Structure 1
Amino acid sequence: MVDSPIVKSTGVADLPAIAGIYEGYVRTSTATFELEPPGLAEWARRFTAITDAGLPFLVAEVDGRVAGYAYCSPWKTRPAYRRTAENSIYLAPWSTGRGVGGALLDALLSRCQENGIREVIAVIADPERNPASPALHRRRGFADVGVLRNVGYKHDRWLDTLLLQKSLI
């Protein structure tokens, strides 16, 4: 039996596991439009930028291993957008279907609300091939707000993104 995930703030020591999880998505999936996996220095830069902006960056652990991570980044850089964030969630392949994504998203939304975020946007790449992410977000009250057609090109095909939004007020 698998223990329930423990969700906590990310520390620098978690970055190698995060980089390893994300590398699999970059190389083999269309869940991200990134084409080359970022190295540890880039993850350290991203971690610092996110936490310095007062936004949450979380990991979920199961049986002492990093099972997934989630964070929010600024939706746009212009100051009027400062209360809107975009969320990202990635799970280790062995942890899918075990409630890790839901635990991460619940904690992420709670931290966003505590930090004064009003709106959270999910940008889901290639939703037809990645149906778990839209389903997870819809179960947490995200509403579909649009589809951007053919905005990314990866693995020799054009890809859509699905936009979902949740108000925290």
Structure 2
Amino acid sequence: MLEEEYDRDKRKLPRHLRRQPAPEPAFAFEIRPVETRDIPDIREIYNYYVTNSVVTFDEKKWTLAQWREKIEKLQKLGLPFIVAQSPSGQILGYALVQPMSSKSAYRYSVENSIYLGQAATGKGLGKALLVALIEACEQAGIREMVAVISDKGAEASVALHEKLGFVEVGRMGRVGFKFGRWLGTIYLQKSLKRAGRRRLFGR
């Protein structure tokens, strides 16, 4: 029997007798604190956005050394930095907070960032990471979270933050210039519950 005839015969079979396509494996991940071994995957995820989007205003790729220094600094300050890891050990995305300012009066307020690998978008991972980051910040005694989001190409991020209780508190226009065009920023803020009284920022 020719292959074409076989395919034609298959289409004549009742639906319940036809071979069903194998189901796609479930999208699984574990969220945990960042570790040094995660740095290469984190760098790859972030550098994709540096070179291909305006969701970050960085124009130069980050090095392993820069990420190592950043992780060490945030750990010293007691600020959350979490990753989502696949069952195979690949880092699918990450979320962190960093000081809004070096001035000490800002010590209970932070700016958050979330980045996903391209294969992990559109599957609910961003929401899971942001929920976990909010909870970690509450446990750390942080009182205010602020997201500074590009006003171009980051509509999904704005919608996610608003869905989880962030409120737009302001905008700045034409403060960034990347890929030959001017960009603005949107500021969203969320007040956190009192879940801890840890001393932040080494103070």
- Scaled to the shorter chain, the TM-score interval is over 0.9
Could you tell me how far 1:4 is from its partner in structure 2?
3.2
In structure 1, what is the Cα distance between the partners aligned to 2:61 and 2:160? Answer: 25
Could you tell me how far 1:61 is from its partner in structure 2?
1.5
Matched, 1:68 2:93: yes
Query: Considering only aligned residues, what root-mean-square deviation do their CA atoms show, in Å?
Result: 0.9
1:47 to 55, 68, 71: 71
The SS at the match of 2:110 is strand
Unmatched 5+ stretches in structure 2: 1-24, 194-203
1:10 to 27, 34, 40: 34
Equivalent residue, structure 2, for 1:161: 185
Matched, 1:96 2:121: yes
2:169 to 138, 142, 145: 145
Matched, 1:119 2:144: yes
The SS at the match of 1:67 is strand
Equivalent residue, structure 1, for 2:201: none
Equivalent residue, structure 1, for 2:82: 58
Q: Which runs of 4+ in 1 moved over 6 A?
A: none
Equivalent residue, structure 2, for 1:28: 52
In structure 2, what is the Cα distance between the partners aligned to 1:153 and 1:163? Answer: 18
Deviations 1:54-100 (A, max 9, x none): 00011012333211000000011111100000000000011001111
Q: Which has more strand, going by share of residues?
A: 1
Unmatched 5+ stretches in structure 1: none
In structure 1, what is the Cα distance between the partners aligned to 2:59 and 2:26? Answer: 33
What code does the residue aligned with 1:53 have?
A: L
Could you tell me how far 1:118 is from its partner in structure 2?
0.2
The SS at the match of 1:2 is coil
The SS at the match of 1:22 is helix
Could you tell me how far 1:51 is from its partner in structure 2?
1.1
In structure 1, what is the Cα distance between the partners aligned to 2:103 and 2:154? Answer: 30
In structure 2, what is the Cα distance between the partners aligned to 1:26 and 1:128? Answer: 14
Could you tell me how far 1:128 is from its partner in structure 2?
3.6
Note if contact 1:68-1:92 (Cα within 8 Å) is conserved in structure 2: yes
Note if contact 1:143-1:164 (Cα within 8 Å) is conserved in structure 2: yes
In structure 1, what is the Cα distance between the partners aligned to 2:123 and 2:77? Answer: 31
Largest Rg, 1 or 2: 2
In structure 1, what is the Cα distance between the partners aligned to 2:185 and 2:70? Answer: 22
Q: Return the TM-score normalized by structure 2.
A: 0.81
Could you tell me how far 1:3 is from its partner in structure 2?
2.9
In structure 2, what is the Cα distance between the partners aligned to 1:81 and 1:128? Answer: 28
